[in-house]
Structure 1
Amino acid sequence: MGSIIRSMGNFFSTIVQRFLPDAFIFCLLLTFVAMLGGVVLGGKTPLEIFGYWGNGFWGMLTFSMQSSMALMTGYALSSAPLFRRGLSKVASLPKNFGQAVLLASAGSFIIWYIHWGVGAVATGLLCVEITRQMAKKGVKIHYPLLVAASYLGSGTWHAGISGASQLLVATENHFLVDLIGVIPVSQTIFHPMNIVISLLQLIIIPIVTYFMIPDEK
């Protein structure tokens, strides 16, 4: 099973490295698709679409500032000496590379689930600390896999307690309130289905990552 997962990982890694364009390309493509949809399906003129785009951009300043503050406070917390010392102690727990991968992937998920701003910084620091601790113990590591494991939580943070859209729609007078109303977090973040899925991810993702460890040659 481990060899199959490793082969799949190598295949998709090669495809992504060769063909995945820059994220800004997707931004431009989605903007064009939205504009085309507004003209064809919405019956609006291109000039009207440009007006909507411009007004909508400035209308998102409040949300953008909230996201920026979340990232800034996350960075401040991750850089605090007490937090760094705790991170170093946790990183010293693994005795071999397999345990290090499990810690990196599970730790990444938990940190991102709690606060994506902290996760964006702390998981990278966790990866560095694990690398240092493994070097002290003379344990060989596969650094690309360790880095990937450390950032796996970034794919699950939106189910966590800092999920931007869930918190946004739970806020009174948000910009979509006329369409969907106010949706409490009990129906999103703390809904039983969301919690169960998150727990399954916490269990399955580290196991899959563990089986991706390459054979020593």
Structure 2
Amino acid sequence: MAFLFTGKTNGESMINILKFWQNGMWDPALLVFAVQMMLILVLGHVLVLTRPVSWITEKLTSIVKDNASAVVMVSVSTMLVAFFNWGLGLIFGAIMARKVGEAARDRGFKINYPLVGAAGYVGLMVWHGGISGSAPLKAAESGHIKSLFSGKGSENLVQQLPDSIPTETTIFADWNLILFGVLLVLVPMLLWVVSKKTETSYVELLAEKEIKRNSIIEGAEKLDHSKYLSLIFGILLITAFLFSYGSNLLAGNLTPNMLNFFMLGL
């Protein structure tokens, strides 16, 4: 589109467009942002596969008795988790939908499995208003807003921009929390109404294939599998997190690095 609509449709124009794109791709600020977002997703994914979270999903699944309770439980739990971390919520919702399907198969009650699957993704409606929302977190970084406009306009106007916008005025603002609370009630209610009007059926799921793992752990691999080393390292990270970001935490001001450091510790 840039090639067709910028006035010149020749070889030199195409080469310039590719160069602009290449330079933009390796922009340091953009690479930092990309890594921050990848860490939110990867660390959230890792955390949702841990034993404590698996225990929570099992407890939540045990209260499901029918189609209506299934969609309400999945949607509420997914929205709460997604408000904390979008990467965590994305994987958690899918796992909860699968767990409910397995519970319906094992305990013999009917559900509308596609509707349960849809309930597992409603966290995407609230994640950006949550504490892993990329725009409010980046705006809370000192100097980030000014860096976006530096060299692209009047320096006097750039200097008038705030150094940062703290998350207490965005994520933790009353209007945002009220909106999240309203969605937390209305979305499950809507799904409950839909669940009463949709057909249900018994779920047939293929059993998960058992993955054969090498049970013999020798040499340095013992360090990789050591619970004590990971526990010590995790405690050190959480301790460093509290010392480094304790004042920010009390002030309700979060940044992407702060959130990712906490997730890494967990």
Tell me the TM-score normalized by structure 2. 0.62
Q: Which segments of 5 or more consecutive residues in structure 1 lack a partner in the other structure?
A: 1-31
Secondary structure at the counterpart of residue 211 of structure 1 = helix
CA contact (8 A) 1:157 1:163 kept: yes
CA contact (8 A) 1:38 1:49 kept: no
Q: Does 1:55 align with 2:27?
A: no
The 5-angstrom pairing of residues 37-48 of structure 1 reads 39=6
Q: Does 1:68 align with 2:38?
A: yes
Cα distance per residue 1:116-170 (max 9 Å; x no partner):
1111211111111111222232111111100001111112210001101110110
CA contact (8 A) 1:116 1:162 kept: yes
CA contact (8 A) 1:109 1:202 kept: yes
Match of 1:176? Answer: 148
CA contact (8 A) 1:39 1:49 kept: no
Q: How many residues align?
A: 180
Match of 1:28? Answer: none
Larger Rg: 2
Q: What amino acid is the match of 1:118?
A: L
The 5-angstrom pairing of residues 17-56 of structure 1 reads 32=1, 35=2, 39=6, 49-56=17-24
The change in CA–CA distance for 1:36 and 1:208 in structure 2 (over 3 A counts) is farther
Cα distance per residue 1:28-49 (max 9 Å; x no partner):
xxxx3xx489948xxxx77665
CA RMSD of aligned residues (A): 2.3
1:202 maps to which of 171, 176, 184: 184
Match of 2:76? Answer: 106
Using the TM superposition, give the Cα deviation of residue 87 of structure 1 relative to its aligned residue in structure 2, in angstroms.
1.0
- 2-structure distance, mates of 1:216, 1:134: 11
Q: What amino acid is the match of 1:170?
A: A
Question: Which stretch of structure 1 is more off in the superposition, 141-150 or 173-182?
Answer: 173-182
Using the TM superposition, give the Cα deviation of residue 197 of structure 1 relative to its aligned residue in structure 2, in angstroms.
0.8
Q: What amino acid is the match of 1:120?
A: L
Using the TM superposition, give the Cα deviation of residue 201 of structure 1 relative to its aligned residue in structure 2, in angstroms.
0.6
Match of 1:190? Answer: 172
Q: Does 1:141 align with 2:119?
A: no
Q: What amino acid is the match of 1:202?
A: L
- 2-structure distance, mates of 1:122, 1:207: 20
CA contact (8 A) 2:140 2:166 kept: yes
1:82 maps to which of 52, 76, 81: 52
Tell me the TM-score normalized by structure 1. 0.75
Using the TM superposition, give the Cα deviation of residue 89 of structure 1 relative to its aligned residue in structure 2, in angstroms.
1.1
The change in CA–CA distance for 1:68 and 1:90 in structure 2 (over 3 A counts) is same
